[in-house]
Structure 1
Amino acid sequence: MSIRVFAFDLDGTLADSIPDLAHAANAARRDAGLATLDVALIESFVGDGTESLVARAMAADMAANFTGSEAQKEALARFDLHYQAGLTLKTKLYPSVANTLNELHDCGYRLAIVTNKPERFTLPLLKELGIDQVFEVIVSGDSLATRKPNAEPLLHVMQQMGVSAAELLMVGDSKNDILAARAAGCKVAFVRYGYGVAINMPDADVTIGRFDELLNWLEAQD
Structure 2
Amino acid sequence: MTRPAIEHVQAVAFDLDGTLCDSIPDLAAAAAAMREHLGLQPLPEKVVESYVGDGIGTLVHRVITNERDTLADEALWEKGFVFFMQYYRAHLSDFTRPYPETEAGLGLLKSLGIPLVVITNKTEILAVELLKQLGLADYFSLILGGDSLPEKKPSPLPLVHAAEVLGIDHANMLMVGDSKNDILAAKAAGCLSVGVTFGYGDMTLLSQDQATKPDWLIGKLPEIYENLQPQKAQDEN
Establish whether TM, by shorter chain, passes 0.5.
Answer: yes
- Cα distance in 1 for partners of 2:72, 2:85 equals 15
Q: Please state how far the C-alpha of 1:66 moved relative to its aligned partner.
A: 6.1
Shift of 1:104: 1.0
1:213 aligns with 2:223: yes
* 1:209, distance to aligned residue in structure 2 (A): 1.2
Are 1:61 and 2:71 an aligned pair? no
Are positions 1:16 and 2:22 aligned together? Answer: yes
State the partner residue of 1:204.
214
42, 48, 56: which one pairs with 1:42?
A: 48
CA distance in 1, matches of 2:72, 2:220: 34
The letter of the residue matching 2:119 is V
Residue of structure 1 equivalent to 2:89? 84
1:108 maps to a residue whose letter is G
Correspondence 1:158 to 2:158? no
- CA apart distance, 1:220: 5.2
- Confirm whether residue 33 of structure 1 aligns to residue 43 of structure 2: no
For the pair 1:97 / 2:97, whether they are aligned, the reply is no
Aligned partners of 1:109 and 1:159: how far apart in 2?
Answer: 15
Q: How does 1:43-192 map to 2 (within 5 A)?
A: 43-65=49-71, 69-192=74-197
Partner SS for 1:190: strand
- The higher radius of gyration belongs to 2
Q: Give the letter aligned to residue 8 of structure 2.
A: S
* AA aligned opposite 1:215: Y
For residues 161 and 65 of structure 1, the distance between their equivalents in structure 2, rounded to whole angstroms, comes to 37
Matched residue type, 2:56: T
Measure, in 2, the Cα distance between the counterparts of 1:55 and 1:4. 38
Q: Could you say what the CA RMSD is over the residues aligned between the two structures, in angstroms? A: 1.3
Gap regions ≥5 residues in structure 2: 1-6
Q: Partners in 2 of 1:214 and 1:19 — Cα distance?
A: 27
Residue identity opposite 2:183 in structure 1: I
- Deviations for 1:63-90, whole angstroms, at most 9, x for unmatched residues? 22367x1110110001011101100000
Q: Secondary structure at the match of 2:71?
A: coil
Runs of 4+ in structure 1 off by over 6 angstroms are none
The alpha carbon displacement at 1:120 in A equals 2.1
Q: Shift of the alpha carbon at 1:165?
A: 2.0
Pairs aligned (count): 221
- The answer to whether the Cα contact below 8 Å between 2:64 and 2:72 also exists between their aligned partners in 1 is no
CA distance in 2, matches of 1:203, 1:196: 12
Q: Report Cα offsets for 1:115-158 as digits up to 9, x if no partner.
A: 00001211110100001111111111000000000000000001
Deviation of 1:166 after TM superposition, in Å, equals 2.4
How many Å separate the matches in 2 of 1:208 and 1:149?
Answer: 21
Distance between the aligned counterparts of 2:72 and 2:196, measured in 1? Answer: 28
How far, CA to CA, are the matches of 2:71 and 2:115 in structure 1? 36
> In 2 relative to 1, CA 157–17 (structure 1 residues): closer, same or farther, beyond 3 Å?
same
User: Distance in 2 between the 1:53 and 1:71 partners?
Assistant: 14
Q: TM-score, normalised by structure 2?
A: 0.90
Q: Structure 1 vs Structure 2: percent identity of aligned residues?
A: 41
